[in-house]
Structure 1
Amino acid sequence: RSLYILISRIAWACDIAYQKDAHGEDMIPPSYDYVAGFNVQPKPFPFELKPRAGRQDIVEEVHRSVWETEG
């Protein structure tokens, strides 16, 4: 459940997009590129994570507040 909450927070606060190559084209990872083994998972791939308009200040303020409280 906590993983779902963390992913939801990232989705709320950020835009997630393909990384661009030198020509400005999206770098789309192959759909078949997985790590072999017991726990199958996709191999790491490049992407862009940008704060959504107006939400960066909220995230920074909450982080600052938690840091001051929790240390």
Structure 2
Amino acid sequence: MNTEWRVEEENSDKEDTDSDMGAASSDEGKDFSSIIFEERMKHIKDDFEVFAQRLRDEHERLQESSKALLE
């Protein structure tokens, strides 16, 4: 495994854990792992929405280009 990737991965895990600790105190009914899971799922959902928007934009651009070529 690439050491740079491992260090980067460990740092991002630490940042996720640090930010999730604040959420843990406000959600007393949930266990810590489920809170972390929910936070990570929110990040994944946000990333997916950005990707989906870029894909829609690219699709629209390609449709406009193909219309221009057909004219």
Task: Tell me if TM exceeds 0.5.
Answer: no
Name whichever structure is richer in strand by fraction.
1
TM class, shorter-chain normalised?
under 0.3
Which is higher, the Rg of structure 1 or of structure 2? 2
Q: Decide which structure has greater helix share.
A: 2
Which structure is higher in RCO with an 8 Å CA cutoff and minimum separation 6?
Answer: 1
